[in-house]
């Protein structure tokens, strides 16, 4: 079971149990076994009610400041300058042609910075954490009723409405 499904199950259990630790563990057990399908259907990447494209755009928007900070780092800029100079030098020795216009250098620099920043651990962490949080929030919003029905009918666990889990 992946981390997002576990996070959805834990958040649902905390929301339904409303602070009752014994009930919360019963709910988690049911959601991980007999009601697992309900949670799986809530997932964005499983064709569930949470649109993947919208969640991805929200995640990108949320992590944009992190990416901008990474791109502004002198070490990142220096690394990209070295890569571009190496490409230009290699092209000249092989008889290739790289236009010397400043716009071309800026385009290549921008591409390099975006690509390298997207692979940076800080950006990857921001992206994965935000993606998980948005997916869990959407699943709680969209699938709380179906999870409650499954818990009551399949596992005979009396639950009320889904409350926002404590942070």
Q: What is the pLDDT of residues 6-65, one digit of tens each?
A: 888 888 888 888 777 788 889 889 988 988 888 877 765 556 677 888 889 999 999 999
Confidence of residue 102 (pLDDT cuts 50, 70, 90): low
Is residue 164 in some structural domain? no
Asked whether the beta carbons of 159 and 166 are under 8 A apart, the reply is no
Percent of the chain with pLDDT over 90: 29
Strands (E), the chain: none
pLDDT grade for 167, boundaries at 50, 70 and 90: very low
For residue 165, is it within any domain? no
Q: What is the pLDDT of residue 44?
A: 53
Mean pLDDT value of segment 147-155:
90
Mean pLDDT calculated for residue range 87-104: 59
Specify the pLDDT at position 91. 58
* Domain region containing 11: 3-153
Task: Give 92's contacts (C-beta < 8 A, 6+ positions apart).
Answer: 98
Total domain count, the chain: 1
Tokens representing 8 are 């959805």
Residue 114 has pLDDT above 80, yes or no: yes
- Specify which of 13-17, 69-73, 149-153 reaches the highest per-range mean pLDDT: 69-73
Q: Domain for residue 117, yes or no? A: yes
Q: Please give the distance of CA 103 from its chain centroid, rounded to a whole number.
A: 34
Q: Is residue 101 part of a domain?
A: yes
Whether residue 38 is contained in a domain is answered as yes
Evaluate whether residue 163 is within a structural domain.
Answer: no
What's the rounded Cα separation, in Å, for the pair 115 and 76?
A: 11
Determine, yes or no, domain membership for 158: no
Asked, for residue 167, whether it belongs to a domain, the answer is no
Residues 6+ apart with CB under 8 A from 144: 12, 15, 161, 162
What confidence score (pLDDT) does residue 66 get?
Answer: 97
31 burial class (0-12, 13-18, 19+ CB within 10 angstroms)? Answer: buried
Q: pLDDT band at residue 166, thresholds of 50, 70 and 90?
A: very low
DSSP state of 72: T
């Amino acid at each position: 079971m992946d981390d997002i499904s576990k996070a959805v199950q834990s958040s649902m259990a905390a929301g339904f149990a409303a602070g009752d630790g014994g009930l919360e563990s019963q709910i988690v057990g049911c959601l991980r076994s007999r009601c697992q399908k309900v949670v799986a259907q809530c997932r964005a990447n499983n064709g569930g009610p949470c649109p993947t494209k919208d969640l991805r755009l929200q995640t990108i928007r949320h992590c944009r400041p992190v990416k901008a900070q990474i791109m502004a780092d002198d070490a990142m800029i220096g690394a990209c300058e070295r890569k571009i100079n190496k490409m230009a030098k290699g092209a000249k020795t092989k008889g290739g042609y790289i236009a010397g216009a400043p716009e071309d250098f800026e385009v290549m620099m921008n591409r390099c910075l975006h690509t390298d920043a997207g692979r940076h651990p800080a950006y990857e962490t921001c992206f994965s954490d935000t993606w998980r949080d948005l997916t869990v929030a959407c699943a709680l919003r969209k699938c709380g009723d179906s999870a409650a029905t499954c818990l009551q009918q399949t596992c005979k666990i009396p639950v009320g409405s889904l409350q926002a889990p404590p942070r």
